[in-house]
Amino acid sequence: MPAPGGVKTACVTGGNGYIASALVKMLLEKGYAVKTTVRDPDDIEKNSHLKRLQALGHLEVLRADLDEEGSFDEAVAGCHYAFLVAAPVNLASENPEEELIGPAVRGTLNVMRSCAKAGTVKRVILTSSAAAVVPSRPPPFDGALVLDEETWPDIEYLVTHKPVTWGYCVSKVLLEKAACRFALEHGISLVTICPAVTVGSAPATKVKISVPASLSLLSGDEAALGVLRGAEALFGAVPMVDVDDLCRAEIFVAEKEASSGRYICCGLNTTVVKLARFLAHKYPQYNVQTNLSGELLEKPRVCLSSAKLVKEGFHFKYKTLDNMYDDVVEYGKALGILF
């Protein structure tokens, strides 16, 4: 079904994912016609939120798979913007090269090829991760290290020493670099967003990684808390961004003609200990443990900086834990993570 004449059309890959579902909703609310992709449009459980979002505007749900060459051709055909959000995520993979890194690069290039074929895509917005900005070695203790868009992990170090989630970091770096090379060769305008740990509510009813992690101190889920601990060990801080700010940033860099290169999207830098104290105070009914064992930081050792994004005119709405966690408990209850 074609979009109404004169309406801007955007493709969002992976529409049943957490970030993508929020982005689809925001684009529809801004008057865009949206085409989004899922692996199985008939999976009612995973896609029910997309059915509800169709009430907001023109939304097509199409089948596509990152592993299938050409399967995104229909989704990006006629689109002004393509938001590449879908990517394999498996932090616990025992064979990251085969299960994560290779599929991430191939899948990204698969969608990029469809964008090149379409001939209508004005800009591709690639959602990478702050994991592609992480320092390869443990940061210094003085808290003075600022990570910006020029920061890249040392791939050789990660592959050799295999720190926590090394495969995920490598996959994000390599898919970014592959997308940049392809864009350069084919004259495509590409902008990359590197979001921090993302929090807040979204339309998606099935979530992985960041939402359970952000709620782990409330839920008591030790495995999910391990993700937060891992982020702190990796970065020297727990960098966070609200999903609403992230989606606004994605649309901002899509629409702003002068946008180019990478953009870190981070509303604040905190620590597991600070987060535990905040949540214990805000939600006393959950008996949050503040005496946490293990090596944890009192204050961030690094600052993941969004100065580039802000300098170009973007304004973060959510810059404190208090407003980031405003609606997250209700969302956690709706997802069955909290009771």
Kindly state the percentage of the chain with pLDDT values over 90: 77
The closest of 82, 114, 70 to 8, measured between CA atoms, is: 82
Strand duo 81-84 + 145-147: pairing: unpaired
Give the tens place of pLDDT for each residue, 24-56. Answer: 999 999 999 999 999 999 998 889 999 999 999
Encoded tokens for 279: 């949540």
Q: Are 67 and 107 in contact (CB under 8 A)?
A: yes
Q: pTM of whole model > 0.85? A: yes
Give the tens place of pLDDT for each residue, 267-319. Answer: 999 999 999 999 999 999 999 999 998 889 999 999 999 999 999 999 999 99
DSSP 286-336: G----S--SS--SS-SEEE--HHHHHTT---S--SHHHHTTTHHHHHHHHT
Q: How confident is the model at residue 139 (pLDDT cuts 50, 70, 90)?
A: low
Strand duo 33-38 + 145-147: pairing: unpaired
Given a cut of 70, whether residue 3 has pLDDT beyond it is no
CA dihedral 33, 39, 45, 47 (to 10 degrees): 0
DSSP 179-247: HHHHHHHHT--EEEEEE-EEES--S-SS--THHHHHTHHHHT-HHHHHHHHHHHHHHSSEEEEEHHHHH
Average pLDDT over residues 68-94: 90
Average pLDDT over residues 248-273: 97
How high is the pLDDT of residue 108? 97
How high is the pLDDT of residue 95? 82
Given a cut of 90, whether residue 240 has pLDDT beyond it is yes
Q: Are 42 and 16 in contact (CB under 8 A)?
A: no
DSSP 43-99: -HHHHHHHHHHGGGS-EEEEE--TTSTTTTHHHHTT-SEEEE------TT-S-HIII
How high is the pLDDT of residue 4? 63
Rounded CA separation 129/161 (Å) = 21
Instruction: Quote the mean pLDDT of the chain.
Output: 93
How high is the pLDDT of residue 233? 87
Given a cut of 80, whether residue 6 has pLDDT beyond it is no
Q: How many CB atoms lie within 10 A of CB 132?
A: 23
Please give the helix or strand (H or E) that residue 16 lies within, else none.
none
How high is the pLDDT of residue 2? 56
Given a cut of 90, whether residue 142 has pLDDT beyond it is no
The residue with tokens 């957490």 is 18
- CA distances 266 to 76, 199, 251, Å, are 28, 11, 16
The type of residue at 89 is V
How high is the pLDDT of residue 165? 80
Given a cut of 80, whether residue 144 has pLDDT beyond it is no
Q: How confident is the model at residue 204 (pLDDT cuts 50, 70, 90)?
A: very high
Q: Are 267 and 242 in contact (CB under 8 A)?
A: yes
